[in-house]
Amino acid sequence: MANKSSSRSALADARKARDAAKSALAAGVDPAAKAKAEKAARQTAAANTFNLIADELLEKLAQENRSARTLDKVAWLLGFAREELGHRPISEITAAEVLSVLKKMEARGRHESAGRLRSTIGRVFRYAAATARTDRDPTLALKGSLVTPTVVHRPAVTDPKAFGALLRAIAGFDGQPTTRAALELMPILFPRPGELRMAEWSEFDLEKAEWTIPAARMKMRRPHRSPLPRQAVSILNRLHQITGRGRLAFPSIRTVLRPISENTMNAALRRLGYANDEVTPHGFRATASTLLNESGLWHADAIERQLAHLDGNAVRKAYARGEHWEERVRMMQWWADRLDQLAHEKAG
């Protein structure tokens, strides 16, 4: 009975295939050509693996001159997905498969990294969609599936009197002149630490009192022009006598070909008696943002522009008053003068 049932099923399948071939012929479609095209499509889909698309995305980012740090971070995150997803055709990967990868990272307590991994995997799928290798992004269905990480803000001193004490401590720093200059400039100019420590002398126009940071070193990949108050120009002139013959404004003591390390300023602050949970170089940005806004003297957009923040609101961006340059020039001089005042106000 089983053999007869199997034979009937096979016969029915054969009839369906025959009828489909007849219909295709009637519609002017060659069944052999159609089968060949479907086979080629399957082979193409199988060849377009997650690994292949991920490598193409990394190459695209490199051609767009993304920083080495950005490329390393993306490659590092993709490494967590390659073992499970790497050899799978991009068009066949499901949301459940992606979630399995994310949950393994989350189980290690790395909640922030798990969220970034979801976003990075999504970039691979969106690139595949843009290049006609898939028509979906399964990471979109996973929004809200991961534990939201607790936001830990970088330590910053926002009390004026305490900040004045910090400025006095910096003024008394007796270490390397390059480190001292960097520490003195951080509260005045409040750039991101990497923007300052990798600065080159060609970026500074001390006569015009301007510092132009190239796009490659900016977080948002846009060049940033900053006014230099008199105090900053004075510090840079003093530093130029020491390092001005080289390319870098803040070269390492080991080699003039590399800038001071990420830990140099952190270590200097520790030497001054400030712990990691009290002050960091990046924290000077929060200090400046807080005290400038609290002063009520400056337009919020001018402060944000000086911080090199890009407003995500398209309408506000469209109506923003350019770079607010003239206001920022006045604001930065006022800020540097205010720091001098705070440094001389001894706590009562």
pLDDT range class, residue 313, cuts 50, 70, 90: very low
State the catalytic residue, choosing from 111, 309, 330, 338: 309
State the catalytic residue, choosing from 73, 219, 221, 338: 219
pLDDT score of 21 more than 70: no
* Cα distance between residue 275 and residue 8, in whole Å: 81
Instruction: Report the chain's mean pLDDT, rounded to a whole number.
Output: 84
Instruction: Say which residue, 4 or 294, is predicted with more confidence.
Output: 294
DSSP, residue by residue, 64-84: TT--HHHHHHHHHHHHHHHHH
pLDDT range class, residue 315, cuts 50, 70, 90: very low
What pLDDT score does 148 carry?
A: 80
| Residue 285 among the catalytic residues | yes
Residues 82 and 36 sit within 8 Å (Cβ to Cβ): no
What pLDDT score does 13 carry?
A: 57
What pLDDT score does 262 carry?
A: 82
> For 160-344, which CATH superfamily applies?
Intergrase catalytic core (1.10.443.10)
User: Which residues in the chain are classed under CATH 1.10.443.10?
Assistant: 160-344
User: Which residues in the chain are classed under CATH 1.10.150.130?
Assistant: 50-142
Q: What is the mean pLDDT of residues 151-157?
A: 65
Highest mean pLDDT among 30-39, 51-60, 156-165, 307-316: 51-60
Query: pLDDT tens for residues 193-225?
Result: 999 999 999 999 999 999 999 988 887 678 899
Q: What percent of the chain has pLDDT over 70?
A: 80
pLDDT range class, residue 18, cuts 50, 70, 90: low
The two structure tokens encoding residue 23: 């219909």
What pLDDT score does 68 carry?
A: 76
* Cα distance between residue 105 and residue 92, in whole Å: 22
| Residue 123 among the catalytic residues | no
| Residue 154 among the catalytic residues | no
pLDDT range class, residue 15, cuts 50, 70, 90: low
State the catalytic residue, choosing from 118, 123, 180, 192: 192
Output the CA–CA distances (angstroms, integers) from residue 291 to 187, 228, 285, in the order listed: 12, 19, 10
For the CA atoms of the chain, what is the radius of gyration? 29
pLDDT score of 308 more than 90: no
Judging by beta carbons within 10 Å of its beta carbon (0-12, 13-18, 19+), is residue 75 exposed, middle or buried?
middle
What pLDDT score does 25 carry?
A: 57
CATH architecture of the domain with residue range 50-142: Orthogonal Bundle (1.10)
* Weakest mean pLDDT among 60-74, 102-116, 150-164, 260-274: 150-164
